[in-house]
A and B are shown apart, each in its own frame.
Chain A
């Protein structure tokens, strides 16, 4: 249980184009999803918190107009990298929280397999 998928797993795009990454919770509903970014041999940095039906909350320093997040349903969140440039090349990982109020593990997050973006 608690499986999160991401699509695509790997994408190469040209500078100036936009790329959409999908994050799906396969066997649970997730009112909250999170988007992280990881550079080679570095830790994960939270980019934004996405709540179903409302605007995403972005971390300080993350450009919300460049990284568009849409959480349209309880099982799907999307991250669109707009007008991508080589410095946007990175490993993007989403997570989802299936917890219900009052249950043990309420705050536990499950992670997708990640999407490796290369901008040429």
Chain B
């Protein structure tokens, strides 16, 4: 099946700093989503971005499907950005069911 690798596994930032989180995947996709898992376990949809670039406030994401990677940018980080960030992909071969394969996650800690 499709493989998903996220890097770095852990990231510690000072409040106000910028960061880039990376997601590499091993096959063509029809779905790529970035999530933030809060301390209570809720997965919050950040971006649905199988290709292209999107921005939402301090967050932006870019997926280069031909090179099989996606980047999540966090600017002017805040302590509330802390948590685990997951990249999940749906392989194109799975078609309409488009089940997601998750990376191992990136644990972000933003210090005041």
Contacts and interface: CB of A to CB of B under 8 A. Distances in A.
Contact of B35 (A34, A49, A111): A111
Contacts of B45: 108, 110-111
A32 interface: yes
A105 interface: yes
A11 interface: no
Given A107-B90, A108-B31, A114 B102 contact: no
A113 B31 CA distance: 21
Contacts of B35: 111
Interface in A32-48: 32, 34, 38, 42-46
A116 B101 CA distance: 21
Interface in A103-120: 105, 107-111, 113-114, 116
Q: Secondary structure at chain A's binding surface: helix, strand, loop or mixed?
A: strand
Interface residues of B, number: 24
B41 A114 contact: yes
Given A44-B86, A97-B98, A107-B98, A113 B104 contact: no
Contacts of A116: 41
A76 interface: no
A46 B101 CA distance: 8
A43 B48 contact: no
B42 interface: yes
B90 to A, nearest CB: 6
Given A44-B86, A113-B42, 9 more contacts: A43-B86, A43-B104, A44-B100, A46-B101, A49-B97, A49-B99, A93-B41, A109-B98, A116-B41
Interface of B: 30-31, 33, 35, 40-43, 45, 48, 50, 86, 88, 90, 96-105
